[in-house]
Chains A and B, each alone.
Chain A
Amino acid sequence: MIRDVIREGGGLAVDIATLGDGDDLYAAGLTSHATVNLMLGLEEKFDIEFPDRLLRRRTFESIEAISAAVTELLDEKVAA
């Protein structure tokens, strides 16, 4: 699902299918402008909201990092 959101909103220079979960998305062409689109897409898809503490460059550097942040937010939602 995360890969779908990146494909739609990430504006990458390469096909997301060619990237591994740990690959650097910024090296693949993710810009800070596109990061905002990506965040909005993830918030919509997973019905979550990124708190300010997660609004930083490293949260979106790889599929792995995004997945960790989304999982954390989904867990918090379940706990709440």
Chain B
Amino acid sequence: MSEQLQRMRRVGADIAAKHAGSVDAEARFPHEAFAALKAEKLLGVMVPTELGGAGASISEVVALCHALGQYCGSTAMIFAMHQIQVACLVRHGLQSEWHRAFMRRLTSEQLLLGSATSEAGIGGDVRSSICAMEVQGARFKLSKNATVISYGADSDAIMVTARRTAESPASDQVIVPILKSDYRLEQTSTWDTLGMRGTCSIGYWLHGAGDVAQIMPLPYADISAQTMLPTSHLTWSSLWLGIATDAVARARAFVRAEARRKAGTVPPGALRLAEAVNLLQLMKSNVVAAARQYEAALASPELLTALSFAVAMNNLKTGTSQMAVQVVNHALLICGISGYRNDSDYSVCRHLRDAHSAALMVSNDRILANTANLLLVLKDDPGLFP
């Protein structure tokens, strides 16, 4: 296990797991876990070493999300969403002086990055914006009615999408990081949900400003296709796998305890446990294969914007999001009423509620519709290995 992963395991077991219950019950930001993640310098791991980070690869970040997901789903989701923003900066901001300086600050001050991509009136399509950059000289202003800015109140900076100019079509977007000191948030909704209660995915009007140099140079369409989509699906899938892994760990412990009590007989839950472990392995293979595919494609913008790559990442998301619920449900059946109780060591209630968010956060139906559209032109791939 890498030293980084050990530190993450420590934060997970000592802090995140301890507060997971109250974060969930009170639908509050996991302050304790993030103080610990910042103290362990885990927020800037992806930033290159010359800018103060650890130069972690996407696989390493995916492993960190997977580890944290085993202790607290909400904390892991916030960590993942932050890393997605960092990945965009690292992959597309290294040529720009402003973004290099920002990454240095991100690592030294352990800034937490939020994101404002969804907007009222666009029908959930984050590749469209209504709001636009208002540029005057070297400065810009921006107002966005964001339907969701997860952990917005606790972010240190927010990456915001908007149309390039007031004249640009809805799909011609840019993305810009705006610092906390340069924006004002007006809360427009609340967050009281079934699961993932700690992400505090509240709606806000965001009014921000900054220097034109802050605008990411590459169009958001490219950043989205090459980095934001694949990184989102990989980090999310891995933390969902983490949630499922912990549920199965509880089911394993339950079955072992049963077996010890009645030595010589195989407990009734053992067979279903075998099934759950089988599903978990499929889910894990899916995540690991997709992470390898992404890393193999990283050097080539051509490969990253290919339709076949988009379909593979879509499949990762829709597949693992469904399996997460399936696996946790198996764990619930195995643990029985002990799993159904909130006040038991074998409880998988929070796991199940958190896992149900997976198919909804970016709706699977929307992603499947996108895949369906791409399949109209994409040809069959008869090969086994890429």
Picked from B171, B172, B307, the residue with its CB within 8 Å of the CB of A55 is B307
Q: Is B373 an interface residue (CB 8 A)?
A: yes
Contacting pair B379 A29 (CB below 8 A): no
Interface residues of A in 24-42 (CB under 8 A from B): 26-33, 36, 39-40
Interface size class of A (residues with CB under 8 A): 20 to 34
Contacting pair A29 B169 (CB below 8 A): yes
In the bound complex, residues from chain A placing their C-beta under 8 Å from that of B185 are: none
In the bound complex, residues from chain B placing their C-beta under 8 Å from that of A28 are: 169, 172
Give the docked Cα–Cα distance between A23 and B374 (Å): 24
Contacting pair A40 B373 (CB below 8 A): no
Contacting pair B225 A55 (CB below 8 A): no
Interface residues of B in 123-159 (CB under 8 A from A): 127
A38: nearest chain-B partner, CB-CB: B377
In the bound complex, residues from chain A placing their C-beta under 8 Å from that of B378 are: 52, 55
Contacting pair B377 A40 (CB below 8 A): yes
Q: Is B40 an interface residue (CB 8 A)?
A: no
Give the docked Cα–Cα distance between A32 and B314 (Å): 14
Picked from B169, B306, B308, B370, the residue with its CB within 8 Å of the CB of A13 is B169
Give the docked Cα–Cα distance between A32 and B306 (Å): 11
Contacting pair A56 B307 (CB below 8 A): yes
Picked from A29, A33, A52, A57, the residue with its CB within 8 Å of the CB of B222 is A57
Contacting pair A57 B305 (CB below 8 A): yes
Contacting pair A57 B225 (CB below 8 A): yes
Contacting pair B305 A58 (CB below 8 A): yes
In the bound complex, residues from chain A placing their C-beta under 8 Å from that of B308 are: 52, 55
In the bound complex, residues from chain A placing their C-beta under 8 Å from that of B343 are: none
B164: nearest chain-A partner, CB-CB: A27
- Indicate with 1 or 0, residue by residue over A57-76, a CB within 8 angstroms of chain B CB atoms: 11000000000000000000
Picked from A12, A31, A49, A53, the residue with its CB within 8 Å of the CB of B127 is A31
Contacting pair A52 B379 (CB below 8 A): yes
In the bound complex, residues from chain B placing their C-beta under 8 Å from that of A29 are: 169-172
Picked from A13, A32, A51, the residue with its CB within 8 Å of the CB of B379 is A51
Give the docked Cα–Cα distance between A58 and B370 (Å): 19
* Interface of B toward A, CB cutoff 8 Å: 127, 164, 168-172, 219, 221-222, 225, 301-302, 305-308, 370, 373-374, 376-379, 381
